[in-house]
Amino acid sequence: MEEGLRNVSDLQLAQAIYELSTPSLSSKHEEALSFLFKVIREFNLAPLYKQLCENPTTSSKIDVDNDFLNSMISENDKKLKELDSAIEDAQELNGEHEITEALKRKADYYVSICDKEHAWATFTEMLEKSASEGVQIDILFAKMRIAFLYADIKLVGSLLEKIRPLMDQAGDWERKNRLKAYEGIYMMAIRNFSRAAELLLDTMSTFSSTELLPYDELVKYSVLSGAIALKRVDIKTRIVDSPEVLAVLPQHEAMSSVETCVNSLYLCDYAGFFRSLASVEQDHLKCDFLLAPHYRFYVREMRRRAYAQLLESYRALSIESMANAFGVSVDFIDRDLASFIPDKKLNCVIDRVNGNVETNRPDEKNRQYQEIVKQGDVLLNKLQKYQATVMRGAFKV
């Protein structure tokens, strides 16, 4: 990142704003406010301070200080005058490339102080000055950062649609690698955990997008996405034994529940898995602005995966022994299994009279046979229609 620009990532700021504006996270309000003001003071984030003061969900936690705001605006204006002077010099003395670079420095500064409106205007001016695909890609990356900062996930999606064709034309390795991180975070935010896991796990070893989020947070999101999306054998190779994961999670006490959750699921320690999953829900899902909308789905799907993994080894299992394995009551297991069975999310039935859970895994060969018969019927119908069409044409002749 250019010297003088903010070195705190956009998702860190977005997370702090979310914590401060969410009543149920009142225990985090003081820490979030302290973090935001530290960054605001250090980098003169006047637009962000103004937004926090005007937003009804955060204004009640802030004592508005107009002198403080005006002093930051003065610092912003001073820096912008320097950048405008550089643009004028480039227009008088240099060519298109130098003008574009000068405009980019100004746009980057607007992004760094969280000024969405002026950043957008400067980006538009840049596009008018240059038709380079590379420049357009960099602009779209910067716009995505602003969209993430203001938690506008829908806007991130529309920007990704624009950047993909440009990446096919002019994307170098560094830009393509950055796109994996940006798109992976977006996919996680819209609950496409399979695609998110694929992208985020791929970029762990070559990650450089620290302007978006810190590396340890990327690893955490990679593990959470992979835990719900990967097959058990892939969890072993890509998460449990991953050098990148092993270098991060054990070093962060706050992430111990994430590590324990994945490891206990892989090692079939179901009681430990349930306990750690509850901690993950409280400490990493419900309080995360990207994952909070999906925490119920995530926890429920992880429970289903654990049930399915245990039942794979048995034709029948007593409800009591299953409850003991998960460290919960028989009634809880009974209710929870019953919520999955009607939608065929678990291949089993509950025999409450005998107190058993009986698996009824579908016969794979029979399924394949039925699929072939179905496809054969479709093909025969198409051939019959084709024959009828040909015969009608022959009679007309």
What does the alpha-carbon distance between residue 45 and residue 47 come to, in Å, rounded to a whole number?
6
- pLDDT reported for residue 313: 87
Show the CA angle centred on residue 104, arms to residues 103 and 109, nearest 5°: 100
The pLDDT of residue 171: 75
pLDDT of 395:
52
pLDDT tens profile 2-26: 545 788 999 999 999 999 999 999 9
Please name which of 244, 243, 242, 283 lies closest in space to residue 261, comparing C-alpha atoms.
Answer: 283
Model confidence over 45-98: pLDDT tens digits?
999 999 999 999 999 999 889 999 999 999 999 999 999 999 999 888 877 888
Q: Which residues, given as ranges, of the chain have pLDDT below 70?
A: 1-4, 130-131, 362-370, 373, 388, 390-397
Question: How does DSSP assign 207-269, residue by residue?
Answer: ---TTTS-HHHHHHHHHHHHHHHS-HHHHIIIIIT-HHHHHHGGG-GGGHHHHHHHHHHHTT-
Residue 165: predicted pLDDT: 92
The pLDDT of residue 367 is 56
Q: Which pTM does this prediction carry?
A: 0.88
Give the total residue count for the chain: 397
Bridge-partner residues for 317, per DSSP? 357
Exposed / middle / buried, residue 51 (Cβ in 10 Å: 0-12, 13-18, 19+): middle
DSSP type of residue 83: H
Q: Give the whole-angstrom CA distance, residue 93 versus residue 343.
A: 69
In the prediction, which pLDDT does 365 show?
A: 52
Alpha-carbon gap, residue 341 to 349, rounded angstroms: 7
